[in-house]
């Protein structure tokens, strides 16, 4: 299997007109999900959480995109996009409770991974086979277009999701209707255990944009400034010229599809190649070289995040387990109603005959 890398191994960060505060804010937002993930992997091995899909090494995509958007612009993330949730400043205690299957979680304990959303944070929960959420992103973009809000919607998929029919349908409709939606394909080399060279024959996924008559961009998904700059520029332009855009973000999955699956099918040389392109360590080293941060700043920030994570985990762990309640479950599915049973032969209230019961 060959996962082609058409960029230099050493990353170049284009500071542009970004302030020191902006750059440090991006660094904080890429460090936070990494530290949360590292803690979750420990808890997984302790049997304190049941499942985990790792996004380690891919954080620059989720963080760079989310920070470039307005907080009220909808995002349709995937299960490796922890940086979307943390960059939207979700309370960690509630996020951890979600993974613990606790009542204060965003779906009241019904899922324990990333199959959930939060309307107040403008995040729509992922659809497990990933392709269908692209069309939903287009639906939100249609609403933004009709209301002339100047807002965009962003929908994520993996390179495996581009082999689904939903990918075609979503891009085709978005193209025909000029919907202000950004389709982001995180090309991390493998769809579960299937390498990219067994999935498609085009050289790059972004090449498919031409077939739909839309604009396409390929970006180094491990370079947070490249991602942030691209989305910031496109978002500003889409407000004046609504249209769909396809982005292929090149990155690599440094762990298994999920932790239980392992990585035995991945050649070691790919880990070696992409390991030196780690989005966190490279950005951190660049900020150090630019003297925007120092080792003391990093140490203090890590200590702050560690305390925050541990404190919020305690809140989630200390929450009582859910007690099953059928009435509450039904009330969360159905709107309030009053059931009326009618005689199947004759409605005694008005004398009309019925062939079946109705409510």
Distance between CA atoms of residues 286 and 336, nearest Å: 57
**In this predicted structure, what is the pLDDT of residue 347?**
61
Residues in the chain: 359
Residue 342, token pair as written in the block: 């009618």
Please give the full DSSP string across 201-247, using - where no structure is assigned.
-SS-GGGHHHHHT-EEEEEETT-HHHHHHHHHHHHHHHHHS---EEE
**In this predicted structure, what is the pLDDT of residue 5?**
44
**In this predicted structure, what is the pLDDT of residue 10?**
61
Residue 181 parent element (H or E)? strand 181-187
Distance between CA atoms of residues 148 and 242, nearest Å: 10
CA angle 79, 83, 86 (to 5 degrees): 110
The bridge status of strand 215-220 relative to strand 245-250 is parallel
**Torsion sign (Cα): 183, 187, 190, 194:** positive
For the purposes of burial, counting CB atoms within 10 Å of the CB of 289, is it exposed (0-12), middle (13-18) or buried (19 or more)?
exposed
Query: 160 Cβ partners below 8 Å, 6+ apart?
Result: 130, 190, 191, 192, 194, 199
How many Cβ atoms are within 10 Å of 41's Cβ, its own excluded? 16
Asked if 174 contacts 214 with a C-beta cutoff of 8 angstroms, the reply is yes
- Looking at residue 336, the DSSP 8-state letter turns out to be -
Ramachandran area for residue 85 (φ above 0: left; ψ -120 to 50: alpha; else beta): alpha
Q: Which residues of the chain have pLDDT under 70?
A: 1-10, 344-359
Query: 239 Cβ partners below 8 Å, 6+ apart?
Result: 150, 151, 152, 180
For the purposes of burial, counting CB atoms within 10 Å of the CB of 184, is it exposed (0-12), middle (13-18) or buried (19 or more)?
buried
Domains located in the chain, CATH noted:
20-333 (3.40.50.970)
How many Cβ atoms are within 10 Å of 258's Cβ, its own excluded? 16
Q: How far apart are the first and last CA of the chain?
A: 59
């Amino acid at each position: 299997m060959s996962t082609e890398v058409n960029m230099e191994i050493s990353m170049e960060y284009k500071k542009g007109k970004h302030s020191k505060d902006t750059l440090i804010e991006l660094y904080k937002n890429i460090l936070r999900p990494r530290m949360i993930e590292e803690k979750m992997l420990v808890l997984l091995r302790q049997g304190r959480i049941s499942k985990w899909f790792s996004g380690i090494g891919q954080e620059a995509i989720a963080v760079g995109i989310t920070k470039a958007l307005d907080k009220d612009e909808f995002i349709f993330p995937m299960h490796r996009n922890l940086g979307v949730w943390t960059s939207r400043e979700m309370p960690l205690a509630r996020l951890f409770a979600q993974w613990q299957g606790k009542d204060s979680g965003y779906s009241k304990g019904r899922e324990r991974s990333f199959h959930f959303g939060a309307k107040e944070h403008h995040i729509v929960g992922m659809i497990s086979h990933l392709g269908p959420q692209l069309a939903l992103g287009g639906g939100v973009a249609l609403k933004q277009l009709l209301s002339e809000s100047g807002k965009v919607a962003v929908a994520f998929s993996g390179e495996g999701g581009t082999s689904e029919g939903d990918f075609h349908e979503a891009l085709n409709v978005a193209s025909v209707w000029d919907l202000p939606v950004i389709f982001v394909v995180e090309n991390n080399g493998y769809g579960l255990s299937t390498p990219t060279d067994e999935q498609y024959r085009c050289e790059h996924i972004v090449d498919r944009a031409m077939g739909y008559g839309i604009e396409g961009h390929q970006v180094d998904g491990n370079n947070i400034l490249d991602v942030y700059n691209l989305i910031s520029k496109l978002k500003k332009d889409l407000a004046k010229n609504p249209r769909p855009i396809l982005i292929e973000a090149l990155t690599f999955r440094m762990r298994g599809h999920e932790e239980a699956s392992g990585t035995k099918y991945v050649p070691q040389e790919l880990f070696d190649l992409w390991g030196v392109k780690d989005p966190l360590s490279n950005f951190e080293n660049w900020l150090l070289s630019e003297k925007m941060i120092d080792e003391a700043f990093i140490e203090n920030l890590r200590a702050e995040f560690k305390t925050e994570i541990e404190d919020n985990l305690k809140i989630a762990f200390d929450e009582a387990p859910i007690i099953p309640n059928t009435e509450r479950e039904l009330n969360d599915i159905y709107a309030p109603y009053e059931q009326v049973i009618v005689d199947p032969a004759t409605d005694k209230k008005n004398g009309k005959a019925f062939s079946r019961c109705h409510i």
